[in-house]
Amino acid sequence: MHLQSSDHFGMNLVLIQLNGNNFLPWKRAVLIALGAKNKLDFVNGTLLPPQESDDFKKWKKVDYM
């Protein structure tokens, strides 16, 4: 759980724009992009937030990205 220098708010992770007809390729691209950046656990719920502490503040900052 940490930020890379390449992580910044508003960054595009995938080039595929989600529309009504392309959910599966979009989902695959998002899962690959998040997995490559070690961020998938934030989205799928397997990384639970720590108790309120300095670790929680770090977790929250990384989760916002």
Residue with tokens 């695959």: 28
- Residue that wins the pLDDT comparison between 62 and 25: 25
- Residue that wins the pLDDT comparison between 55 and 27: 27
Is the CB of residue 58 less than 8 Å from the CB of residue 1?
yes
**Which helix H or strand E contains 36, and what residues bound it?**
helix 23-36
Token digits of residue 55 = 């670790």
Which tens digits make up the pLDDT trace of 11-46? Answer: 677 889 999 899 999 999 999 988 888 888 878 888
